[in-house]
Structure 1
Amino acid sequence: MKKNMLLDGLRSIARIGETAVIAAKAGIRYAAEKPSNAKLMRETFESLGSTYIKLGQFIASTPSLFPREYVEEFQGCLDQTPSLPFSYVEQVLQEEFAGRDLTEIFASIEPTPLASASIAQVHAAKLVSGEDVVIKVQKPGVETILYTDLNVLHWATKLLEKAVPKVKFASLADIVEEIKLRMVREVDFIEEAKNIDDFRDYLNATQNQVATAPRVYHQFSTRRVLTMQRLYGVPLTDFDVVRDVAKDPSQVLIAAMNTWFGSLMLCQSFHADLHAGNLMLLDDGRIGFIDFGIVGQLNPEVWSACIQFMDALQKTDYAAMAQNMLKMGMTDRAVDVTRLTADLERLFNGVLLGDPQQLLNSKPNDLNDIMLDIVAVGERHGIRFPRDFALLFKQMLYFDRFMRVLAPYTDIYADQRLQLLQNFEPAQQFKH
């Protein structure tokens, strides 16, 4: 125990030193090259690694808290990192299953990772009992680095708030606390296992036969190791393969979307990072949902208001849009609904040029701009959108991108097969 505490202390000191060096280099570069503040910050965050990459992704998905320039720049904040040698992975496995011979659990483990990200990397393996699995293994020192970085950030934001009391984002320390809460959950694979179980319970309760998620082997999982059933298929990022394999590529995505939209109402949390790499078309034709490390929680009333907002947009009913913006957001002051309605009408008249269908036919970047514009209008009226609403909207942008590639002639949100609101019983019936 003392040895581990000493190692953690040394890692913390080394991390603070590494952070100071990278920050100093960024300062020198700014003086010499004068890059944009947002670009320099993104590149510096990527150099600093996992905690700051996650912070960048938080910025990208929280347009209600950060300036447009930063939100747009951090859309490109990458999470893929070089893989670690297999010896490190073995070290973590031996620590987590101390007292047990790994050969009693795993018949084999592939040394080459299937994927490597900032917090963990994934290896294919086979259990002694014969099942094919994947092992998600947390990279050594990640938790220590996480706590060190977040403590430094918390200290820095407290100083900033004291030095500049009128700073625009006066609740920076609170934001760091929220990030800390979410990221601590992400490095706890027991939490991720619960998210997967919850989603599988939802699929079973709704008798969903078109989608699945990997079974978790809890007896071989810990806070730092997650052992799951291996799903065979291709990610939706392999667009050419999906088009070749699927008779109707649009149906693949419609099935995935219907499953996900149902989970918004019926699960304790929703998958909040469902880019195409986390969706698979399996060999048996089902849709595989993987990687439940990042989740959001959405109040059913907020989702209902979001759907009604979209419906009002298609009908160009700006008064209804204004009313549903109030239901989606939070405000601490009285809102003049008539003025909000007028602002929305001016915004969308400029965007749609008289054609309400243009929104649904615009490019993804345009949709992101529209989201930022909606948030900006809300801010002017004192409406603050919950962060999970931004995660929700971002996910819908993902779906829009997929459909443009897989089925470019399909009007996704006008498709009769799509069920944005599903008539299921409340999720409490099957929640743990």
Structure 2
Amino acid sequence: MPPRRYDADAIAAYYNFRPWLILGRMLRIATLFLVFWLRLQWDHWAQRTEQNIGLRAMQLRQLLISLGPTFIKIGQALSTRPDLIRRNYLEELTLLQDKLPPFDNDLAIAIIERELNQNLGDIYAEFSPQPVAAASLGQVYRARLHSGEDVAVKVQRPHLLPVITRDLYLIRLLITWVGPWLPLNLGHDLRDVIDEFGRKLFEEIDYLNEGRNAEKFAANFREDPTVKVPAIYWPYTSERVLTLEWIQGIKLTRTECMVAAGVDPDQLIRVGVISGLRQLLEFGFFHADPHPGNLFAMADGRMAYIDFGMMDQLEEDTKESLVDAVVHLVNKDYIHLAQDFIHLGFLSPDTDIMPIVPALECVLDEVLDSSVQEFNFKTVTDRFSELMYEYPFRVPAKFALIIRSLVTQEGIALCLNPDFRIVDVSYPYIARRLLQGESAQLRRRLLDVLFKEDRLQWQRLENLIAIARTDQHFNLAPTATLGLQYLFSEEGQFLRRQIVLALTEDDRLHTEEVQRLWNLIKSDLRPLFFIDVAWGALKASVSQTLAKDEEVVAIAR
């Protein structure tokens, strides 16, 4: 048997000595891609490449569908890779659907009984006669346990591991033939991309891993009443069978059903965007496949997430670099932004960034100068995809999944509300996070936003507060308390000096700016509030200083 964990070398060692397992499949794949390549060559010879590019993109999508689950998944993955695919092909591949006809019920029941080592009737009191959903990797039944709980039973397609393993081996083998003729930007080894995809696909077909992902996701949102995660029933779960709580929800594409059930679509959009941002910026553990089949609206207004096969984790330093990139983008500091792309893995360390900086400025200035109402994430990715095809960019696997997640969520939101703009929700959340400054890293980045060339940007501070106040979870009083405590702490020494300079810069007292700021916040904060908090913060700072002095004296003795 091939290995159950993705290892390109081990897979190659297995199939190199078993040519009879791959020859027929290799011939079919090679024939289909050869026909596709000949069509591209005919277009080139007849000087009809541009006229036929839409047709060829559609034919590539149909080719991938005909080759089955592995190639459908590859097409979906490539649809999030603007560094590899030209925009025409990118848009066509986003139309790929992974729905397939279900496989035989008797075979599905046999898999359940073999995996769980029990008869079906001993496991489930009721079991639907037909699957309620079927996809490229498995199908789902509705059932009821003997203890009374309604559950969903996910059963993996038969022989899926050998099929996927064989296809990945052949794709890796054939890529040296096909690669030069595909519309790909090969600034790096395409086999690395195949390996990234293979690792995630192997994780997705391990239902034990999916169950652990679901519980980790649920733990992150345990205090969030707006997010629902189904419980996992471990006694009835294995690598190929997953039994989880049945979610009675409404598909996000059925707006009229939501309204009839009393669900506010706009509020549901807010829940989806905020939960997505929390996954990326707070937890670093995010759902990478939030398409409409994996998200449901519940009658009580909650958003239910299901299918945790495709998840990924952002390391702490990656999250910090990502925030740095956002700050440099806001400040239009394109040289440092290009360096951030190197730190994040979008550019190789030896890349000369100077030719790229003007291109970044050209593309991103227009985006930043547009109003919030005109901004949407799909527009940004479309503009950026052209830039990434012309320069030696690559999208790291994690960020390919993030892009896919964000674009998909925005697409769902636009179906619910055609006037929706993702920044209308995300701006207030990010502003609140920066102003609250729960960590030293966030406080430092807030200073980076508020100060440019050591000058306080009064307008930015006003804008941040105004935007944050549109977030229903933002409370100015605790935020101001944290700010004053920081100001009087040892860490806030730099900020104290900068505020004094800001109030007196250009040889004048900036009373007008202070008055505007006070008018913005006075309805939330009483005058004595600042005195109380400042006095408390000052006492805490003095006590901390005295404690350190006593510690130094004690050590000296």
| Band the TM-score falls in, shorter-chain normalisation | 0.7 to 0.9
Matches within 5 A, 1:117-128: 117-128=135-146
Matches within 5 A, 1:190-339: 190-204=208-222, 207-246=223-262, 248-267=264-283, 269-306=285-322, 309-310=325-326, 313=329, 318=334, 321-334=337-350, 339=355
Q: Matches of 1:268 and 1:219 in 2, distance apart?
A: 29
- Cα distance change of structure 1 residues 73 and 410 upon mapping to structure 2, 3 Å threshold: closer
Out of 244-253 and 128-137, give the one that drifted further: 244-253
Give matches, 1:20-99, under 5 Å: 20-21=27-28, 23-24=30-31, 27-28=34-35, 37-98=56-117
C-alpha displacement of 1:111: 2.0
Query: What code does the residue aligned with 2:267 have?
Result: Q
Q: SS at the partner of 1:63?
A: coil
> After the TM superposition, which of the residue ranges 291-300 and 228-237 deviates more from structure 2?
291-300
Q: Relative to structure 1, is the Cα distance of residues 415 and 314 closer, same or farther in structure 2, using a 3 angstrom cutoff?
A: farther
Is structure 2 residue 166 aligned with structure 1 residue 153? no
Distance 1:256 1:181 in 2: 27
User: How many residues were matched structurally?
Assistant: 406
Contact 1:198/1:268 (<8 A) preserved: no
**Could you tell me which residue of structure 2 aligns to residue 134 of structure 1?**
152
Indicate if the aligned counterparts of 1:254 and 1:417 stay in contact, CA closer than 8 A. no
In structure 2, do the counterparts of structure 1 residues 77 and 402 end up closer, same or farther at CA, with 3 Å as the change threshold? closer
Partners in 1 of 2:281 and 2:360 — Cα distance? 28
Amino acid at match of 2:270: I
Aligned to 1:397: 407
Aligned to 1:76, the other structure's residue is in SS state coil
C-alpha distance in 2 between matches for 1:12 and 1:287: 49
Retained in 2: the 8 A contact 1:96–1:222?
Answer: yes
Deviation at 1:219, TM superposition (A): 0.9
Gaps of 5+ in 2: 2-13, 44-51, 441-557
Looking at structure 2, the residues matched to 300 and 201 of structure 1 have their Cα atoms a distance apart, in angstroms, of: 18
**TM-aligned CA deviation for residue 251 of structure 1:** 1.6
Q: 1:66 to 1:299 in 2, by over 3 A?
A: farther
Larger RCO (alpha carbons 8 Å, 6+ apart)? 1
Do the aligned partners of residues 256 and 88 (structure 1) sit closer, same or farther apart at CA in structure 2, a change above 3 Å counting? same
Q: AA paired with 1:74? A: L
Partner of 1:107 in structure 2? Answer: 125
Distance 1:217 1:12, change over 3 A: farther
Distance change >3 Å, CA 26–CA 411, structure 1 → 2: closer
Q: What is the percentage of aligned positions where both structures have the same residue?
A: 26
Specify whether residues 318 and 267 from structure 1 end up closer, same or farther in structure 2 by C-alpha distance, changes over 3 A only.
closer
Which amino acid in structure 1 is aligned with residue 250 of structure 2? V
User: 1:412: how far off?
Assistant: 3.0
Cα drift, residue 228 of structure 1: 0.2
* Distance 1:15-1:119 versus aligned 2 partners, 3 A rule: farther
Match of 2:374 in 1: 361
Distance 1:229 1:25 in 2: 42
| Post-superposition offset of 1:44 | 1.5
Amino acid at match of 1:62: R
Question: Structure 1 CA distance, aligned partners of 2:192 and 2:246?
Answer: 39
1:187 aligns with 2:194: no
Question: In structure 2, do the counterparts of structure 1 residues 417 and 330 end up closer, same or farther at CA, with 3 Å as the change threshold?
Answer: closer
Partner of 1:5: none
C-alpha distance in 2 between matches for 1:345 and 1:311: 15
Measure, in 1, the Cα distance between the counterparts of 2:26 and 2:355: 47
Q: 1:172 to 1:320 in 2, by over 3 A?
A: closer
Q: CA deviation at 1:319?
A: 5.1
Larger Rg: 1 or 2? 2
Distance 1:415 1:175, change over 3 A: closer
Between the aligned partners of 1:416 and 1:186, the Cα distance in structure 2 is 29
Residues 239, 371 of structure 1: alpha-carbon distance in 2 compared, 3 angstrom cutoff: farther
Distance of 2:354 and 2:269 partners within structure 1 = 38
**Structure 2: distance between partners of 1:417 and 1:172:** 36
SS for the counterpart of 1:270 is strand
Relative to its length, the structure with more helix (as a share) is 2
CA distance in 2, matches of 1:244, 1:317: 48
Aligned-partner residue type, residue 386 of structure 2: D
**1:192 offset after TM fit, Å?**
0.7
Query: SS where residue 90 of structure 2 aligns?
Result: helix
What is the deviation of 1:325? 3.5
| Displacement of 1:372 | 0.9
